[in-house]
Amino acid sequence: MNVVVWSFVTSGMRLVGQDEVVILLVKEDENDPLPPRDMFLHLNEVFLHAKQGWIIDMFFLYFAFTFTALQLLESYFFCTGQIIGNLGHSIVALGGYDLGFLGNRHNAGFLFIRQSYQCVNSLRLPEPPYLFGVLMNKWEIPWAKMFPLRLMLRLGTEYRYYPCPLISYRNRKPVFEEVGHTVMNLLCDFRNFQYHLPCVEDTECCMEKGFITVRFPRHRYDQIVKVCQGSNEHVLAIGLGFAKRADAHLVCVQNFENGQYETKAINIDGQGRKVTGTSFIIFNASLKGSDPLECRAAVVEDGIMAQINVRGLENLKEALKSMRSISFKSYRKTEDEGSLPVEQETILIEWTDDPKTCNAGVKSPIDGKDMIGVESRRVSLKHSMDFLNGTLAVRCTEVFLTDEKDGVALYRAEIDVSRLAENLAMASCAVLRGHLYDYRDAGTTKIALRVSLGPDIVEYEVGAKGERFPPQAMTEFDDKIMPLIYECARVWGARPRLEMELIFRIFQH
């Protein structure tokens, strides 16, 4: 975009369970020798909020993870705090900045996003995963709280950059003003922020010629069931993720003259618009007629409104609960009397085997194994322990659990996996503590322990910087770790294989 920016890149957020953050702030004066102090203050606020581990609403925790491979998440060993993720946001502390944040009283905080199509060449970036922060105006806070995907795409339209620019302007005008008459008023609480449109990650809806295709990944089945159970008998509304397979996306734009919302589209620069993504889909049982597979679809703001009859909505919910595909057909009448209606558009609802996309770019310190799709949880600071050696310390910061297709998650509830992770973390830290200065001198700050349990396997590995520790360095681990692992293997028995990888970080205390 041909601008000069201050590049703020954090290092150490992971110690408190937070992804590292990158903020690209446009310089007001290219000759300004010093970066703005407000940025350091706010990044410290983000660090402290993550460190405090504020408890989030348990309904959200239950909705997001119930019956998945991480049923243990509600255990006290793992973070349930104010951790910012993709499409999360931060808000600046009130009264903390005399002239307003970054010199403007309308600047309110940041919307955090993952990089997708944006160019990041020549940027100094932290170890994945990380987030880019984009500066928000105070008028945009309701959308950051209730429907952040709409705000992200609207910023992309403002700067004609798909899907959203990664740079921040301190004195830009807001892209939204006071919330007006929008379909989201029916689905979100903009007054008290108590409820919002249920969004299902990795789900997408795309429009192509003659087709509207809604794709649900099978690994999000439990979230879809939750949405169906929480809906009423006349409406099923689903918030969607950013459609990466699309080359364009619907965008909702507010007309500041009358407060109304209009539909526009943004596409990848230099490419034609063949597949267009949407931000939500609403199935409304208001259609009259007897055919349960008939529908009428229309674009509403940045989403799709599909009218079907009551039987059609019931069939749709049953299909989703049983993980079946289903389709609806939209017809239009011809002007000739006695002629049959002509099919105009088809809505396809299908399930896919698309892999999980979490932890993209993350590699195991043991052997460089790609951890994309392997879900993880950050360890709660309230119940973790720093093992000190002089001025250095070691801490377990993250646990990866391999998601087996054979339903290993069903067995994890039978034994306390979080307790196992905690015991392994403490035993490993006790061993690592005596060698912290040796690790530091060798440039090692991240170490991993991988434990595998199953009917025909009981083993563990330790490594760093893409290499396993040599046998001579494993003697202390054998004494501390193996008795614990064998006891866990005895309890685990002949159940499907469980693989757990614990991440330890060495830092200056």
Tokens representing 11 are 């290092």
Concatenated DSSP letters for 82-139?
----TT-EEEPPTT--TT-GGG-TTEEEEEEE--SSS--TT----SSSEEEEEEEEGG
Whether the CB-CB separation of 197 and 280 falls below 8 Å is answered with yes
Q: How many CB atoms lie within 10 A of CB 286?
A: 14
Give the distance from CA 402 to its chain's centroid.
Answer: 18
295 or 415, which is more confident: 295
Residue 472 one-letter amino acid? Q
382 or 452, which is more confident: 452
Lowest mean pLDDT among 8-17, 58-67, 140-149: 58-67
Give the distance from CA 361 to its chain's centroid.
Answer: 14
Confidence tier at 69 by pLDDT (50, 70, 90)? very low
Whether the CB-CB separation of 22 and 46 falls below 8 Å is answered with no
CA 321, CA 447: separation in Å to the nearest integer? 42
- Per-residue pLDDT for 14 more than 70? yes
Entry pTM? 0.89
Which sign, positive or negative, has the C-alpha torsion 213, 218, 222, 223? Answer: negative
Residue 450 one-letter amino acid? R
Cβ-proximal residues to 291 (8 Å cutoff; 6+ apart), any chain: 309, 312
SS3 per-residue string spanning 290-336:
CCCCEEEEEEECCEEEEECCHHHHHHHHHHHHCCCCEEEEEEECCCC
- Per-residue pLDDT for 278 more than 90? yes
Q: Kindly list the distances between the CA atom of residue 237 and the CA atoms of 208, 214, 243, 410, 437, in Å, as whole numbers in the listed order.
A: 21, 13, 17, 29, 55
CA gyration radius, the chain:
25
CA 415, CA 292: separation in Å to the nearest integer? 45
84-100 per-position pLDDT tens digit: 999 999 999 865 666 78
Q: What is the pLDDT of residue 414?
A: 43
Q: What is the pLDDT of residue 76?
A: 44
Give whichever of 285-299, 329-343, 391-405 has the largest mean pLDDT.
285-299
Q: What is the pLDDT of residue 139?
A: 96
Q: What is the pLDDT of residue 227?
A: 96
Q: What is the pLDDT of residue 182?
A: 95
- Per-residue pLDDT for 309 more than 60? yes
- 159-162: Cβ within 8 A, 24+ apart: 159/1, 160/266, 160/269, 161/1, 161/118, 161/269, 162/117, 162/248, 162/249, 162/266, 162/267, 162/268, 162/269
CA 261, CA 264: separation in Å to the nearest integer? 10
CA 132, CA 20: separation in Å to the nearest integer? 9
Q: What is the pLDDT of residue 406?
A: 44
Share of the chain above pLDDT 90, in %: 68
153-196 per-position pLDDT tens digit: 999 999 999 999 999 999 999 999 999 999 999 999 999 999 99
- Per-residue pLDDT for 75 more than 50? no
- Per-residue pLDDT for 204 more than 70? yes
Q: What is the pLDDT of residue 215?
A: 96
Q: What is the pLDDT of residue 289?
A: 82
Q: What is the pLDDT of residue 343?
A: 54
Confidence tier at 77 by pLDDT (50, 70, 90)? low
Q: Phi/psi of residue 82, each to 5°? A: -80, 65
Q: Kindly list the distances between the CA atom of residue 56 and the CA atoms of 61, 76, 109, 115, 381, in Å, as whole numbers in the listed order.
A: 7, 13, 20, 26, 15
Q: Mean pLDDT across the chain, nearest whole number? A: 87
Lowest mean pLDDT among 195-209, 264-278, 412-426, 461-475: 412-426
Q: What is the pLDDT of residue 67?
A: 32
